[in-house]
Homo-oligomer: A and B are copies of this chain.
Amino acid sequence: MIKRTTLADIAKAANVSMMTVSRAINNKPGLSDELRQHILSLVEEMGYRPNTFARGLATSQTTTIGLVVPDNTNPFFAQIARGVEDAAFENLYNIFLVNTNEDAARETAALETLWQKGIDGVILCSSRLSGQALEYQVQRFPAIVLVNRELKQSHANLITINVNDHRSAQRVLQHFMGLDRRIIAYIGGPANSFSNQRRLDGYKNGLRSAEIPFSPQLVISTQPTTEGGREAAAALLRHRPDVNAIFAYNDLVAVGAMQVCQELGKRVPEDIAIIGVDDIPLATIIRPQLTTMHVPLTHIGRLAMRALIDLIAGEGSSAAYQIEPELFIRDSA
């Protein structure tokens, strides 16, 4: 392994003080252009790169942030992570990726190890933490962006980014109405999910606007996976074979439901129309292609990272972004 070149090495080689080298590489005033050029050429020649964390110790800025997600394998979070990483790379930030496995204890532990690294901020996706625990994290980190989670109280170092689930659900119902489908089921996600609750509200609201009575039989909760979608759809159709439209919690659930419908001899979209949420890559891979509420996941990731950087720079201020999804009409509805 090569020995690291340090500031001191450069200073010695240039026969100046370390401070002068520091000023040169950080592009700060206080030395002649000539000397600066000379030092920079030495830096290049000797392959010097400043140690971020030594610098961080002195400045308490590490150009490093944490990204906490339930599962980086889930396309939803993978896309967001991609957006975050892209924006981070452009701004010369590095990201610590941590999975929580949807487990609050592991999430706490993860935030603990991140805190130990002295990072500049955190992007926390779909946090399972209690409001109180979250408040604590918000005040301990310099800056924090919450994706897919709200917090009652606002903080100067906090920004939240949420999808407008309520409007999403309404838009879906509206589309079903246009198709003249009035027996509409909602296959929801886990009951403790915030977005699930908001979508359910939107669903009920949409029914009300269309003067369709709400039937609990048509609402079923399940895991947000293909398998969950399969189980839920099977149970649903057993009790209500007359269903002619399904609004699914997300695309994975929608795909699972679609398969079960087909296996039971229902045609999609002729007999049962199906709409998902998220618009993950799978939505266009599956046949029939899935009609879904497109959520700009990569964009959310980028937005989160930029918001965090602003917060860190002290330029951003408390804000709650609302993302408006758009209905992408394909073949399943």
A: residues with CB less than 8 A from B are: 1-2, 4, 49-54, 56-57, 62, 64, 67, 71-73, 75, 78-79, 81-82, 85-86, 89, 92, 94-99, 106, 109-110, 112-118, 139-142, 157, 226, 255-256, 259, 262, 281-282, 285-287
Contacts of A81 in B (CB 8 A): 72-73, 97
Q: Could you tell me if B49 and A116 are in contact, using CB atoms closer than 8 angstroms?
A: yes
B82 near A116 with CB under 8 A, answer no
Rounded to whole angstroms, the CA-CA distance of A157 and B56 in the bound complex is: 28
- Counted per complex, copies of this chain come to 2
B49 touches A112 (CB 8 A): yes
State how many angstroms separate the Cβ of A113 from the closest Cβ of chain B: 6
The smallest beta-carbon distance between A201 and chain B, in angstroms, is 29
Tell me which of B4, B64, B115, B262 contacts A49 (CB under 8 A): B115
A52–B117 CB distance below 8 A: yes
Question: Is there an interface contact between B73 and A79, defined as CB atoms closer than 8 Å?
Answer: yes
**Complex Cα spacing A56 to B71, Å:** 29
Choose one: B78, B92, B94, B118; the contact of A96 (CB below 8 Å).
B94
CA distance A57 to B4 in the complex (A): 13
